[in-house]
Amino acid sequence: MLPLLYRVLHDCVIVRGLPNPMAFGSIKQLRVRLVTPSVGVAVALLFILVLFVSNVEVWKPATFFGRYSDDAVYFSSAQALAQHQGYVMPSFPGRPLRPKYPIFYPLLLSKIWKLDRQFPENLIWAIRMTEGFGCVLLLCTFLLLRCIAGLARIPSLILTALCAFHPVLLRLSGLTMTDVPFAAIFLLTVLIAHFAFSPGRTFALTALAGVCAALSTSLRTLGYAAVVGLLAYLLYRREYPRAITFCGAAGATIASVLLLTAHYVPAAAANSGVLQNASPQWQRLVIFHTEYIRFQWLMGIPSAGAFFSMLKENCLQLVSSPGPFLAGAFDRRSWLLTAGMSAIVLSGVVRQLWRPEWRALAFMSVPYVAIILVWPYPIMERFLFPFLPIFLLGLVLESQRLVSLAMKNLRAPATAANRILAAGICAVLLGYTVFAGWNYFVHDRRQLLEAANAQAQTLQQKREVYAWIREHTPADAKVVAYEDILLFLYSGRQALRPIALLPVSAYQKNPGSESPDLSKDLAEMCDAPRDAGATYWLATGDDFSLDAQPEKTVTRQNEIVAVLPLVFESSGGFARLYDASCVQRPERDDCKGARAVLFPASR
């Protein structure tokens, strides 16, 4: 790795663009010309990285831990690994479950638990690790712009700084999730592949590219797009020895990760036979945590009509997302306002990918886009995140080309109509630039700070309930909570979410179809808590806020907790803990009135 970095820095940062060394009058002059620019670049990059980390820290990212569920799964699984329990979900009641995510990132996080076992104090180190991957991403961005795009130092530094201020990067870099590490490894793979597949390079670099591509698969499933794309690129070039070397390195790395996973997963977690006698809602909850493909595709897309409906929606989102993504537009009005940027971005990206220098990335993009199109739950700003530098480069170069054409048409002998059109194009580009700058430096920062303050207040109220649970309930108590893993980390009590709803496409009823019914699923919300033996139910003001149809789910939960005795309430009333023993024994005399609400099918 160190020789590769030296070669990259030597080729891209120091030597590129310099004249013949013999043209200098002395070795001293040559040394000055070689060293001074690299020192300036290093200082500028260091300044960008420091600014980036400080901008992440300013919005108190630790307060958002657990809101996306994935981060809590990674961190709790890392705790289990550090405590030698294996790769399991320690928060889930009953038999140990193997999480549906690859093991590589939880293994990294487990080192944090070994260094500091105090939660939530150790969260800061997990966030620092994500910030470290963010710094790697920014360094790769600079080298990609410098080495592959061929930009000069100053433009490369400016675009790298713009990436460092991008709202999505700032948000994701404060979370213990795989988005930033995956993007960093993905871009590093592109950079290494550029050098490894150049004429005259050793096969060791090709093997290194295979290892990096395979490591991306141990972070996210989308990493297989890198492996497949680069292999197809080598076969396209008919470089069969390199293809064999690449396959060998990638295959060995993937096999090692799979063997490592098998080593850490207890034998009991691999046995799914115990699901047969449980309720459908319990089985679905287990599948939700352990089998991504089965839950999202086999259960979430019940018919061909639902599949083509999802495919159409994903296509529309994909072609309309690059502009809003680059501008940092997250609300619907801003999305519509910046949708026109997408055409400019896509045009610029296509022009770049046609260049031989970007050919490897072009091959990687094909399977990547194919996966996105058939993904039942695409969050485009997260899926497009690894392409942030490429989108920014495409936008800048295409805008530069449009401005150049417009300037030609603003001068004689252009017609009045052409001048008006050219002026309109310039005005639109200027408007997009101002809007994106306002989002980057003003609007998004203000939104993040407001959200952080609000999240800190709600988290404080949740922690009051968590502390009460830890101090007043038995160690083997089971709790129903939407943020189940967060409750476990704070209180040490196992918990489960009330229900795992399928993707929206699963509930799109077609005439004569047997698609799942949302009302029926919600009526069975108490089934999984009953199977788990839960005796407490936690309800908060932001439950189900990230789900597809939160209103109906919240209404059903409110019906349930309305017939349960209140045990504890936070100081502001945001979080409420209820006695859910009636869920276990609805036949009790004091529970007969609640039975019809808890289990409507029993009426």
**H/E run at residue 540:** strand 536-540
Are 228 and 367 in contact by the 8 Å Cβ rule? The answer is yes
Q: Which of 129-133, 236-240, 486-490, 588-592 has the lowest mean pLDDT?
A: 588-592
Give the C-alpha separation, 301 to 502, whole Å: 9
**Residue 29: is its pLDDT beyond 60?**
no
pTM score, two decimals? Answer: 0.90
DSSP string, 216-232: HHTT-TTHHHHHHHHHH
* Cα separation, 202 vs 217, whole angstroms: 24
Q: Point out the least confidently predicted range of 156-160, 161-165, 558-562, 585-589.
A: 585-589
Whose tokens are 């700070």? That residue is 449
Length of the chain: 603
The closest of 140, 139, 109, 115 to 127, measured between CA atoms, is 109
Closest CA to 19 of 8, 34, 6, 9: 34
Q: Looking at 73-82, 257-266, 499-508, which range is the least confident one?
A: 499-508
Confidence grade of residue 20 (pLDDT, cut at 50, 70, 90): very low
pLDDT-based confidence at 511, cuts 50/70/90? Answer: low
Q: Which amino acid is at 338?
A: T
In what side-by-side order are the strands of the sheet with 478-480? 494-496, 478-480, 536-540, 575-579, 566-569
| CA gap 250, 213 in Å, rounded | 7
Q: Which one, of 528, 579, 222, 190, lies nearest residue 369 by Cα?
A: 222
Q: Which residue has the higher pLDDT, 171 or 9?
A: 171
Query: What is the distance of C-alpha 215 from the center of its chain?
Result: 16
Nearest CA to 357 among 117, 14, 16? Answer: 16
Q: Which residue has the tokens 């993504």?
A: 325
Is 66 a residue whose pLDDT tops 60?
Answer: yes
Q: How many CB atoms lie within 10 A of CB 111?
A: 13
Give the distance, in angstroms, between the CA of residue 48 and the centroid of all CA atoms in the same chain: 23
Could you tell me the pLDDT band of residue 233, with boundaries at 50, 70 and 90?
very high
Structure tokens at 497: 């979410």
- The pLDDT of 202-220, averaged and rounded, is 93
Peptide bond preceding 600 in cis form (omega within 30 of 0): no
Q: How far apart are the first and last CA of the chain?
A: 67
What mean pLDDT is predicted for residues 196-222? 90
Burial zone of 292 (CB within 10 Å; 0-12 exposed, 13-18 middle, 19+ buried): middle
Question: Which residues, including other chains, have CB under 8 Å from residue 551's CB and lie 6 or more apart?
Answer: none
Answer whether 270's CB lies under 8 Å from 95's CB: no
Q: Give the span between the Cα atoms of 186 and 215, in whole angstroms.
A: 9
Q: CA 187, CA 516: separation in Å to the nearest integer?
A: 40
Query: Which of 218, 185, 56, 180 is CA-nearest to residue 124?
Result: 56
Q: Are strands 494-496 and 478-480 parallel, antiparallel or unpaired?
A: parallel
363 is written with which tokens? Answer: 């091959």
Position 27 confidence tier, pLDDT thresholds 50, 70, 90: very low
Q: Which residues pair with 566 in a beta bridge?
A: 578
Residue 451: partners with Cβ closer than 8 Å, 6 or more residues away: 59, 64
The least confident of 30-34, 274-278, 444-448, 533-537 is 30-34
Give yes or no for residue 1 having a pLDDT over 70.
no
281 Cβ contact partners less than 8 Å away, ≥ 6 residues apart: 499, 500, 521, 524, 525, 527, 528, 531
Closest to 66 (Cα-Cα) out of 495, 579, 526, 527: 495
- In tens, the pLDDT along 179-188 reads 999 999 999 9
Give the bridge partners for 576, in sequence order.
539, 569
471: left (phi over 0), alpha (psi -120 to 50) or beta: alpha
Q: Which pLDDT score is estimated for 299?
A: 83
The Cα–Cα gap between 451 and 439 comes to 15
Mean pLDDT score across all residues of the chain: 86
CA Rg, the chain, in Å?
27
Q: How distant, in Å, are the alpha carbons of 244, 248, 259 from that of 241?
A: 5, 11, 27
* CA 392 – CA 160 distance, rounded (Å): 9
d(CA 430, CA 82): 52
423 touches 414 (CB < 8 A): no
pLDDT, tens digit, for every residue of 458-504? 999 999 999 999 999 999 999 999 999 999 999 999 999 999 888 87
Angle at CA 43, nearest 5°, toward 39 and 48?
145
pLDDT at position 510, please? 59
The one-letter code for the residue type at 174 is: G
pLDDT-based confidence at residue 28 (cuts at 50, 70, 90):
very low
183: nearest Cα among 219, 151, 159: 219
What are the angstrom distances between the C-alpha of 302 and each of 278, 305, 315, 399, 519? Answer: 22, 8, 20, 44, 17
Identify the band that residue 277 occupies on the pLDDT scale cut at 50, 70 and 90.
Answer: low
Q: Is 118 helix (H, G, I), strand (E, B) or coil?
A: coil
Q: Where do runs of H (alpha helix) occur along 321-443?
A: 322-327, 332-353, 359-373, 380-383, 388-409, 416-438
